[in-house]
């Protein structure tokens, strides 16, 4: 982007470490629930 003839940059950095960890935990719990459902519906 140029403003008044000068190049300007905008950088956005976001740490997604916690988000990735939470996603893994949710997947683990979902898989566990699926196993419980399979056991109960046998």
- What residues pair up with 6 in beta bridges, in sequence order? 3
Q: Domain range holding 27?
A: 16-42
Question: What average pLDDT is seen over the chain?
Answer: 94
The reply to whether 22 falls in a domain is yes
Ordered DSSP codes for 1-42: -EETTEE---------HHHHHHHHHHHHHHHHHHHHHHHHT-
**pLDDT value of residue 1:** 79
Whether 42 shows a pLDDT value over 90: the answer reads no
Total count of domains within the chain: 1
The reply to whether 32 falls in a domain is yes
pLDDT for 22 equals: 97
Backbone φ and ψ of 5, nearest 5°: 80, 0
Calpha distance 39→12 (Å, rounded): 46
């Amino acid at each position: 982007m140029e403003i008044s003839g000068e190049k300007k940059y905008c950088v956005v950095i976001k740490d997604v470490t916690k988000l990735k960890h939470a996603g893994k935990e949710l997947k683990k719990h979902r898989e566990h629930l699926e196993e419980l459902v399979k056991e109960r519906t046998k």
